[in-house]
């Protein structure tokens, strides 16, 4: 009788333990809207996979932790996951949190899949269990440098950055790509929004007869430079990154015609069963990517025929195609996407007078 009672309390004989998947995302702080979207997307993916029978006979269990997009908190979350038997983690979302936590996951033998971290060195530090579903800043910079090399071959070009680590990283990658394709910038320089710095740079651009520049950095310093160039009568072509994705950029005089590397708009997931309110625009930014990350875990386990993180990582590093809500993806030996998800768009004037880039794709 006692044996029967013990078996009854333990559940059905032979029932497999659920497979824990962690979600590390900012659920508080200024990035909470993005984190909540990631949570909704991951929850939806887990629910739908479980309804279809789970993974290799096991149901998935999502374990959620708030890292607040803070590196220290991300490390604490990583240690908590590692100590509680979580072997697959979706996240962190942000570059700083992912960079801080990656060594903890690696040491603990945990596969982590970040839906949003773009910091280029993240996948260059020897981590074998880290994968990235977002394109990296390096991949954007390479595309920018390629545009300079192919569209302005033999013409004077410059590479400029806004003195941030983000901007300098983009600029360095653009310079390497340009050189690899037989080109060479006549000027490589950093500039802030300071009027004197901007004026001095514009004078150099004029003296060198620069026809195009790649700008690595954010919208505000790029806008200040473009405004100053147009006021000085320079029609220099500007190529930027998704750092220009700012509503204020459309108000910059002379911004029309600026080219920009940009990731495709995130897919809008169908609302889950019983949803009372639609997801916000912020939430939609990472809902699809987090959903896709869970799909990567599922197909990685099925492809490796094992739930051992090292075997799953080896399968994914092998370049296998994984079908996700983002489309088909594959990873290289470093954990980056084989095909970076970037296109080139132009800021153009619409019939109603607004300046926008949506739908204005151009051939790289």
Closest by Cα among 181, 357, 97 to 173: 181
Closest by Cα among 311, 305, 339 to 324: 339
Residue 350 has pLDDT above 90, yes or no: no
The pLDDT assigned to 9 comes to 40
Residue pLDDT, tens place only, 133-171: 999 999 999 999 999 999 999 999 999 999 998 899 999
CA separation for the pair 17, 19 (Å, rounded): 6
User: Average pLDDT in the 4-29 region?
Assistant: 70
Residue pLDDT, tens place only, 243-275: 998 878 999 999 999 999 988 777 788 776 666
The pLDDT assigned to 266 comes to 76
The dihedral formed by the CA atoms of 246, 251, 252 and 256, expressed in degrees to the nearest 10: 90
Strand, coil or helix: what is 218?
A: coil
Residue 349 has pLDDT above 80, yes or no: yes
CA separation for the pair 149, 184 (Å, rounded): 8
Spatial CB neighbours of 284, under 8 Å, sequence gap ≥ 6: 37, 266, 268, 269
Strand, coil or helix: what is 294?
A: helix
What residues does CATH 3.40.50.2300 cover in the chain? Answer: 16-135+266-329, 138-262+342-362
The pLDDT assigned to 359 comes to 61
- Tally Cβ neighbours within 10 Å of residue 348: 16
Provide the b/e sequence for 53-84 (b: ≥16 CB within 10 Å).
ebbeebbbebebbbbbbbbebbbbbbeebbee
The pLDDT assigned to 335 comes to 95
Region of 172 (left: φ > 0; alpha: ψ -120 to 50; beta: rest) is alpha
Residue pLDDT, tens place only, 171-218: 999 999 999 999 999 999 999 988 899 999 999 999 999 999 999 999
The pLDDT assigned to 19 comes to 96
CA separation for the pair 32, 66 (Å, rounded): 9
CATH number of 138-262+342-362: 3.40.50.2300
Summary mean pLDDT of the chain? 90
Percentage of the chain beyond pLDDT 90 is 75
CA separation for the pair 131, 90 (Å, rounded): 10
Strand, coil or helix: what is 342?
A: coil
CA separation for the pair 307, 288 (Å, rounded): 23
The pLDDT assigned to 2 comes to 44
Residue pLDDT, tens place only, 57-109: 999 999 999 999 999 999 999 999 999 999 999 999 999 999 999 999 999 99
CB-based contact 116:341 (threshold 8 Å):
no
CB-based contact 46:101 (threshold 8 Å):
no
Record the pTM: 0.84
Q: Would you list the DSSP string of 225-238? A: HHHHHHHTT---EE
User: Average pLDDT in the 214-239 region?
Assistant: 96
Residue 8 has pLDDT above 80, yes or no: no
The pLDDT assigned to 10 comes to 41
Give the residue ranges of DSSP H helices in 84-154: 95-108, 137-151
The pLDDT assigned to 341 comes to 87
Fold of 16-135+266-329: Rossmann fold (3.40.50)
The pLDDT assigned to 193 comes to 87
């Amino acid at each position: 009788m006692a044996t029967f009672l013990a078996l009854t309390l333990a559940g059905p004989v032979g029932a497999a333990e659920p497979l824990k998947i962690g979600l590390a995302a900012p659920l508080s702080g200024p990035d909470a809207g993005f984190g909540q979207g990631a949570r909704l997307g991951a929850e939806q993916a887990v629910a739908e996979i479980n309804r279809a029978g789970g993974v290799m006979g096991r149901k998935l269990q999502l374990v959620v932790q708030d890292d607040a997009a803070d590196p220290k908190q991300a490390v604490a979350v990583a240690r908590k996951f590692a100590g509680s038997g979580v072997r697959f983690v979706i996240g962190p979302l942000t570059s700083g949190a992912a960079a801080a936590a990656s060594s903890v996951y690696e040491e603990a033998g945990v596969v982590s899949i970040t839906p949003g971290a773009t910091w280029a060195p993240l996948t260059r530090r020897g981590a074998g269990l880290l994968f990235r579903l977002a394109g990296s800043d390096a991949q954007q910079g390479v595309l920018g440098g390629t545009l300079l090399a192919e569209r302005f071959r033999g013409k004077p070009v410059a590479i400029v950055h806004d003195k941030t680590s983000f901007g300098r990283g983009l600029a360095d990658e653009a310079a390497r790509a340009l050189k690899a394709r037989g080109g060479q910038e006549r000027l490589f320089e950093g500039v802030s929004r300071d009027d004197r710095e901007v004026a001095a740079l514009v004078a150099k651009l004029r003296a060198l007869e620069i026809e195009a520049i790649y700008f690595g950095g954010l919208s505000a310093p790029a806008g200040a430079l473009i405004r100053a160039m147009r006021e000085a009568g320079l029609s220099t072509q500007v190529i930027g990154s998704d750092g220009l994705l700012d509503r204020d950029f459309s108000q910059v005089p002379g911004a029309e015609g600026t080219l920009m590397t940009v990731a495709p708009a995130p897919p809008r997931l169908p609302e889950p069963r019983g949803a009372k309110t639609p997801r916000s625009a912020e939430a939609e930014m990472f809902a699809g990517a987090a959903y896709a990350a869970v799909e990567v875990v599922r197909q990685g386990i099925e492809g490796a025929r094992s739930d051992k993180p090292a075997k799953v990582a080896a399968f994914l590093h092998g370049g296998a195609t994984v079908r996700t809500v983002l489309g088909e993806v594959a990873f290289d030996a470093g954990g980056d996407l084989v095909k970076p998800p970037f296109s080139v768009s132009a800021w153009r004037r619409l019939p109603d007078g607004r300046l926008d880039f949506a739908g204005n794709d151009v051939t790289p």
